[in-house]
Amino acid sequence: MNAEAFAKKTGFKTVCIPSPDKEVEGVYIGDLLSWVMGKAEQGNVWITIMSNINTVAVATLADTSCILLAEGVMPDENALEAAKTKGVNILSTPLSAYEAAMKISELLR
Amino acid sequence: MSDNLVFRFDVQGNDFTSAGQASVQVKKNLRQLGLDADTIRRVSIAMYEGEINMVIHAGGGVAEVIVSEDYIEIILEDRGPGIKDIDQAMQAGYSTATETIRSLGFGAGMGLPNMKKNTDSMEITSTIDVGTRIVMRVML
């Protein structure tokens, strides 16, 4: 499933989706950037509450399919701008990381 | 050897808005060279961690990426405070980052371990009050 279809099916809010064709595979949850860098796999949906510009850089380098901001978090202006230019998809949801992961798990099963 | 491609970047210290730019640029360059995705990912991750370390701890530095026929070499050089105990710094979870830095999501103590994990060789030379030089290689 690609990122665009994923956003539609989950109903997560699309903040920006400059790379709609990225394939979604699995989930990684974490807020410590180096931890994510070391553990997230290519194509993962990365669920986090960390929404600054560095989050976008990590998503770019770790090849995650999208950043999913939990707990209703929204990116700041810098981060949003960087995401658009670097082709990083950002979604947002009022759900907690756990609830969001449950929902994704049902969909990807 | 004369065919080696060299990319060189100045990394600004304490600038967290542009931190990671050199790594993102390297990733773009390597993609254009048509290298395989896994190699690009490993180089990018190792480079990013090193770049962030220079931003956080060393007041910036210079990053050089050399692409040869057999390997990609990443050389990071700074004139920061140096690393007191390299073995300790290599331990996963050990960090000297401040609370402010941690609030940005850094300082997990995973930087150096991630660099080691994603490269085939890594050498650290560090002298207190003089600086640190790290040479990493990813074999092609």
CATH of the domain at B15: 3.30.565.10
C-beta atoms of A37 and B48 within 8 A = yes
C-beta atoms of A62 and B20 within 8 A = no
Given this model, what pLDDT does residue B3 score? 80
Name which of B3, B110, B132, B93 is nearest B46 in CA terms. Answer: B110
Containing domain of residue B84, as a range?
A: 5-139
* Interacting residues of B3 by C-beta distance below 8 A, sequence separation 6+: B68, B69
Chain B nearest C-alpha distance from A43 (Å)? 12
CATH of the domain at A96: 3.40.1390.20
> Cβ(A18)–Cβ(A84) under 8 Å?
yes
Q: How many domains does chain B have?
A: 1
Containing domain of residue A87, as a range?
A: 3-108
E strand or H helix at B124: strand B121-127
pLDDT tens digit at each of 140 positions of chain B: 558 999 999 999 999 888 899 999 999 999 999 999 999 999 999 999 999 999 999 999 999 999 999 999 999 999 999 999 999 999 999 999 999 999 999 999 999 999 999 999 999 999 999 999 999 999 99
Given this model, what pLDDT does residue A15 score? 98
Given this model, what pLDDT does residue B22 score? 95
For residue B118, what are its two tokens?
């994603």
